[in-house]
Structure 1
Amino acid sequence: MEDNQYEYQGIQFIGKLSSEIYRRGYIYFTKRLVPFDINYIQLLCLISLYIKDNQSQEQITDDLSIDKSSVHRAIKGLIEKEYVSRVRDEKDKRVYRVSLTQKARDIQTQIEEMTKERENLLSDGIDPQEKAIAFKVLNQMTQNANQIYEEEKKKNDK
């Protein structure tokens, strides 16, 4: 693979790089998730809940930056497979709270090992300091992208 395939007329397309990492991750996890009968977006929902259980569906959507309908379908599938439960919030009946079940907790270690393995493979041969810098830069770019998104959303809402 050529180094300059992400460059055109002096512009480096970082979005293309991140998109390729995402797509390859999707393929990597899809094969490994077969024993759990879950898909990639369901995996992301579980990871979000492993980090912070009992979230609203909207919080999960915001955390993952995935559209509401995709998260809704993923949660619905996780409910059907008994990995999560969903109940109305006691204080705000418009809000659904999503919580892990014991079945999800039983596979948590395997899921965490799988995601750590992927991260280790991705950063193979990269100095830890370089990885920290890359993480910081990508985090800033994500914040910039979110700001642009919010500004565009405001323009379109007018």
Structure 2
Amino acid sequence: MTHNQNFLNLWISILYRYRKNYMNKKLEAYGGASGSSLLILSIYKNDGISQEQISDLLKVDKGSIARAIKKLEQGNYVRRQEDATDKRANKVYLTPKALALVPEIQSAITDWNKQIMTGIPVESQKIFLNCIEQMAKNACDTCL
């Protein structure tokens, strides 16, 4: 195993923590929503998505999704509505407050991605993104 392979988890962890800090700073005016930015974007792109579908999409356990949605609901970022065809399921919708936040989230993510890709040639970026996507798929397969 090479030096870089030994530290793969370290670098991923560092990127995760710095991204979290960056998003918190960029979205601090919006309270607790910064930690749920990907959740908010997922609901934005799939209005009326069920909690179970969100869990599948983001690869996060159902309990964590339920807690995150409850927190967003308390902050008036989302509303839940019982599914008309399945009374056990809830559909999730963004409120106007969250819809106003979406451009801020998208801008922060775009800026972050530009920042971390600075100095990396476009071809290398494409290769990296393909590789990390495959790594995520491999991890998902391993954990099932």
TM-score, length basis structure 2: 0.89
**Residue 81 of structure 1 corresponds to which residue in structure 2?**
75
Cα shift at 1:10? 8.1
Contact 2:55 2:61 in 1 (8 A): yes
**Residue 26 of structure 1 corresponds to which residue in structure 2?**
20
Q: Deviations over 1:55-96 (max 9, x none)?
A: 111111222222323222211111112111101111111111
| Partner secondary structure for residue 30 of structure 1 | helix
2:66 is aligned, of 72, 78, 94, to: 72
Larger Rg: 1
TM-score, length basis structure 1: 0.82
More helix by share: 2
Q: Deviations over 1:23-79 (max 9, x none)?
A: 111111112222111244322210111222211111112222223232222111111
CA distance in 1, matches of 2:27, 2:61: 22
**Residue 87 of structure 2 corresponds to which residue in structure 1?**
93
Which letter maps to 1:82? N
Contact 1:41 1:74 in 2 (8 A): no
Percent identity over paired residues: 32
Cα shift at 1:8? 6.5
Contact 1:41 1:71 in 2 (8 A): no
**Residue 10 of structure 2 corresponds to which residue in structure 1?**
16
Residues 105-120 of structure 1 mapped to structure 2, 5 A cutoff: 105-120=99-114
| Structure 1, unpaired ranges of 5+ | 1-6, 151-158
**Residue 43 of structure 2 corresponds to which residue in structure 1?**
49
| Structure 2, unpaired ranges of 5+ | none
